Chain A
Amino acid sequence: MTDRVLIEGSEAMARAAVSAGCRFFTGYPMTPFTELLEHMASLLPEVDGVCMNAESELEAVGMAWGAATTGHLAATGSTGQGLSLMQESLSEITNARLPLVVFNMARGQGDYFQATRGGGHGDYRHIVLAPMDLPEAVELTRLAFELASRWRTPVMVLGDYYLAHTYQAVSAPSIEGAAPEVPDWALNGSSGGSGSAKIISPLGGGTDGEEGFDLGAHYAACAAHIQEMSAGVDPLIDIGFCEDAELVVAAYGSVGKFVRYACLRLRDAGHRVGYVRPITLWPFPSEAVYDAVTGSAKVAVYEQNMGQMVDDVRLATMGAVPVEFIGGPSWDHSGFGIGPDINVPDISERILEALK
């Protein structure tokens, strides 16, 4: 860890990725993801890594898929729009049991469902981490690579325009240091001719002398792995002032940081409000949310969309406490997610209204 420096969010995440051992990155420029790609393009050659400016998001995710099969840590990303193009591959990469980190520098908060419901075809989930600011993004980027390696699955870092483009003083991760060792399952060609050459396939492995493969058995194994992950990944959550709160506000990501601050000021003014800020959006920290809110009279969910995480909050609270949605879409003319409503007075007003 080096001294704190004033650094752009995209660069902080890029440095954190390389620091975690990422050696392959690819993407297609798209606001507000572009700078992450640019920083990776300048950083990766310094560590003998590869960054490719892919011809489309389809090709970007395909290249990342290939790189991941070699056991080197690989990542890609885009905004939600570009990630829509990648979903077919992300679904199959999950079934191929490959580690991959995917950054979504989203436009606004409309991509919660895309991030947490799998996003593509089939029956699967990804681990999703939603940092509120740069220091947390640095930590969660590292964690994303760890979790991807441990569970052999895609892990998403869900950020936004604020996270990508804000400058903040952080301890800039050093990009020096060795990448993790290549795992045993990785391909390098050397198992050819052994009688049991390796295969990495979303359709499953070989069947020892039988023709073809058993797709049903493979899908069952994949489903079991998702369940195991769901139970095995530690849910992360930030909780404040909930012990005696009349109203608990739930929010995530950089919007969650504004909500946190609004709650702090409202507390100073004598209002009994608390907050929960889920950090892992999948697995959702349902138990922690339930425990935090059951003493209160009401839960208010603030997110800048039509109401997406509110579904998970309702599932977590299971009717124990009424859940009200106090958010809503917030767009400026650019549509890039610099929501005009993301300000503390506006959020405070909505919270006070819910408190009545």
Chain B
Amino acid sequence: MTDERIYLSTDTPPAEPAALVDDFTPTLITQANHHLCPGCGEPIAIRAAMEAVEELELAQSTITVFGIGCYTAFAHNLDVEVVQALHGRAPSVATGIKRMLPDGFVVTVQGDGDMVNEGLQEVLHAVARGENITCLLLNNGVFGETGGQMTTTTTLGQRTKTSIEGRDPHQHGHPILLSDLATTMDGAAYVARCAVNNAGNVARTKRYITRAYESQMAGAGFSLVEILTMCPTGWFVDTLEGPDYLQDTLAPVHNIGELKTP
């Protein structure tokens, strides 16, 4: 692979070289190359999160706290300060930071395995305390990093490596709809769910993240943005089928929209 550029016409070379991934990289992402799979939704979500930080001029007060998942690869490629936390523990770590730096802007980035499986207690207590932080949940309904096992957000009937014939409520229980749960709690100021499976939803994701950030800036309390992301590898579908699979499998259960606003 000496030249990865795609030329639209084979007759004559274009006047300008085609744009590479770096040309589209937001300022706060220092290294656009990553080891995530083709078709993964997480880089799109991270991009939206970083663009919103930049547009709200929060780059020099932001501390992000990363959980453990595929997205962790980005922890080392951002131009905002990062604390790497353990699987599930980011909301507690973020709490310690925010309490010592009340003027700091604190965002956690976690997956569904991280936040809803291992870290459910942590995030719910952070909501209950009305902790003035923003948690971003990248929800693809599977453990992507370990290769497609069931998480607690896996929808009924969804096939994973640990629910081979599809998630059966009698055997595997029911999915937890975290954002809906958080919405019922008094400490939650802003809760929204979106997706990155088409252009409209990507724009919506950026809009919701921006509103969550504004909520934290206003000191309104806990904000949560759940972002449904594609994981074709963990779903065992072709890369190009990821967006449709998300729409047909996750989106009907994890409803998209703003669930709670200040």
Contacts and interface: CB of A to CB of B under 8 A. Distances in A.
B84 interface: yes
Nearest to B57: A193
A188 B63 CA distance: 7
A58 interface: yes
A67 B99 contact: yes
Contact of A189 (B54, B61, B86, B89): B61
Contact of A197 (B31, B82, B94, B105): B82
Given A58-B122, A212-B73, A68 B96 contact: yes
B37 to A, nearest CB: 14
Contacts of B63: 69, 187-189
A199 B75 contact: yes
B130 interface: no
B96 A65 contact: yes
Contacts of A192: 28, 53, 59-62, 79-81
Contacts of B82: 197-201
A193 B73 contact: no
A211 B33 contact: yes
Chain B contact residues, majority secondary structure: mixed
B100 A59 contact: no
A65 B121 contact: no
B100 A67 contact: yes
Interface in A151-204: 187-203
Contacts of A69: 63, 83, 93, 96-97
A66 B97 contact: yes
B104 interface: yes
Interface residues on B, range: 35 or more
Contacts of B75: 199, 201, 203
Given A69-B83, A195-B30, A24 B99 contact: yes
Interface residues of A, number: 52
B101 interface: yes
Interface string A50-63: 10101110111111
Interface in A33-86: 50, 52, 54-56, 58-70, 72, 74
Interface of B: 27-28, 30-31, 33-35, 53-54, 59-63, 65, 72-73, 75-86, 89, 91-101, 104-105, 121-122, 125
4 A-B pairs closest in CB distance: A66-B96, A62-B92, A201-B84, A193-B59
29 contacts: A23-B100, A50-B100, A55-B125, A56-B121, A59-B121, A62-B95, A63-B92, A65-B96, A66-B92, A66-B98, A66-B100, A188-B61, A188-B63, A189-B105, A190-B60, A192-B59, A192-B79, A192-B81, A193-B27, A193-B28, A193-B60, A193-B79, A197-B79, A199-B83, A203-B72, A205-B76, A209-B31, A212-B35, A213-B76
